[in-house]
């Protein structure tokens, strides 16, 4: 485990938000204490689903969102969309290494555009993709479900993989976030944090907790996450 205490960040996945009121949903989840906005981009090619693209990211920035936007690219190919999301105001861009023909080049494109860069690992994708690019990585994102849909169950083998990723990150001596995505709930977030994660994507767990009457409608679930995480420090 890490020597220093980690700062934990909650990243609601807007995949589970009400798309008809997306700006308001993002405002509300941030007002309720979320740290960053997780933005799932699916192309109906790399994954069997189709979601939102750079125009929506740009619209959120124009709407006034200043929090980091964490763009999770589930697309193939990746490089054209990297440029589009840099222009659209992304803060962090992650992609799946097997979806890029030139991983080092794609990471460099992200960094040259002033964004933080990361690789995403599906449950069966080996961490060895990190071997020669650790110096170009700001985030490692481990999928704890197969990508494409919200609302799936956390795959328990992710816990061992998180421990391995945490060791690699600590050994690198670099400031690299370890994010986990899929099936994160109030009742498993502490165990996931103990395995080494510091950034927690949660879609259905957050947005199903909606209380329509209240602008701070997601306070409860985000407070519950933080209470669980407090026991890990
Ligand atoms: O990238 C993905 C799915 O491919 C995720 O970001 C999901 O949106 C997470 O949703 P929950 O599992 O938390 O409902
Ligand atoms: Fe995601």
Q: Is the CB of 126 under 6 A from ligand 1?
A: no
Q: Is the CB of 180 under 6 A from ligand 1?
A: no
pLDDT of residue 3: 45
DSSP for 175-213 reads: --EEEEESS--TTTHHHHHHTT--EEEESHHHHTT--TT
The candidate with the shortest Cα–Cα distance to 85, out of 114, 44, 119, is 114
pLDDT of residue 215: 65
Neighbour tally for 226: CB within 10 Å? 13
Q: How far is residue 158's CA from residue 183's CA, in Å, rounded to a whole number?
A: 11
Active-site pick, 43, 70, 138, 181:
181
Q: Is the CB of 188 under 6 A from ligand 1?
A: no
- State yes or no: is 219 an active-site residue: no
DSSP for 84-107 reads: HHHHHT-SEEEE-GGG-S-HHHHH
Q: How far is residue 21's CA from residue 35's CA, in Å, rounded to a whole number?
A: 20
161-216 pLDDT tens trace: 999 999 999 999 999 999 999 999 999 999 999 999 999 999 999 998 776 667 67
- pLDDT band at 38; cut points 50, 70, 90: very high
125-172 pLDDT tens trace: 999 999 999 999 999 999 999 999 999 999 999 999 999 999 999 999
Phi, psi (deg, nearest 5) at residue 211: -125, 100
| Ligand 1 geometric centre to CA of 149 (Å) | 6
Q: Is the CB of 185 under 6 A from ligand 1?
A: no
pLDDT of residue 216: 73
| Ligand 1 geometric centre to CA of 150 (Å) | 4
**CB within 8 A of 105, min separation 6: which ones?**
79
Q: How far is residue 232's CA from residue 55's CA, in Å, rounded to a whole number?
A: 38
pLDDT of residue 210: 72
Q: Which atom of ligand 1 is nearest to the CA of 206?
A: 13
Say yes or no: ipTM exceeds 0.95: yes
State the binding site. Answer: 13, 38, 40, 72, 148-151, 181-183, 203-204
Q: Which atom of ligand 1 is nearest to the CA of 204?
A: 14
Q: Which atom of ligand 1 is nearest to the CA of 144?
A: 12
Nearest ligand to the CA atom of 200: 1
First-to-last CA distance in the chain?
A: 11
Quick one: tokens of 72?
């999770």
Q: Is the CB of 48 under 6 A from ligand 1?
A: no
Nearest CA to ligand 1 atom 4: 147
Q: Is the CB of 72 under 6 A from ligand 1?
A: yes
pLDDT of residue 137: 98
- The three-point CA angle 74-37-95 to 5° equals 25
55-86 pLDDT tens trace: 999 999 999 999 999 999 999 999 999 999 99
41-51 pLDDT tens trace: 999 999 999 99
Q: Are 116 and 92 in contact (CB under 8 A)?
A: yes
Phi, psi (deg, nearest 5) at residue 177: -80, 145
pTM over 0.80, yes/no: yes
Distances in Å between the alpha carbon of 219 and those of 191, 206, 211, 214, 224?
Answer: 22, 9, 10, 10, 9
- State yes or no: is 40 an active-site residue: yes
């Amino acid at each position: 485990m890490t020597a220093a205490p980690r700062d934990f960040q909650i990243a609601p996945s807007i995949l589970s938000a009400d798309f008809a009121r997306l700006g308001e949903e993002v405002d509300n989840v941030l007002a309720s204490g979320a740290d960053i906005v997780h933005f799932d981009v699916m192309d109906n090619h790399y994954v069997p689903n189709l979601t939102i693209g750079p125009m929506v990211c740009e619209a959120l920035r124009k709407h006034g969102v200043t929090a980091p936007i964490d763009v999770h690219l589930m697309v193939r190919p990746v490089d054209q969309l990297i440029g589009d999301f840099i222009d659209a105001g992304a803060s962090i861009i992650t992609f799946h290494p097997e979806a890029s023909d030139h991983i080092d080049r794609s990471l460099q494109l992200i960094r040259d555009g002033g964004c933080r860069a990361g690789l995403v690992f599906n449950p069966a994708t080996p961490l060895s993709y990190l071997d020669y690019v650790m110096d170009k990585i700001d985030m490692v994102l481990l999928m704890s479900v197969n990508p494409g849909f919200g609302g799936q169950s956390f795959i328990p083998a992710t816990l061992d993989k998180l421990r391995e990723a945490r060791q690699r990150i600590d050994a690198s001596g670099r400031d690299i976030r370890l994010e986990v995505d899929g099936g994160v709930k109030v009742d498993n977030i502490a165990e996931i944090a103990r395995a080494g994660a510091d950034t927690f994507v949660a879609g259905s767990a957050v947005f199903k907790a909606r209380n329509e009457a209240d602008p701070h409608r997601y306070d409860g679930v985000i407070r519950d996450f933080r209470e669980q995480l407090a026991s890990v420090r």
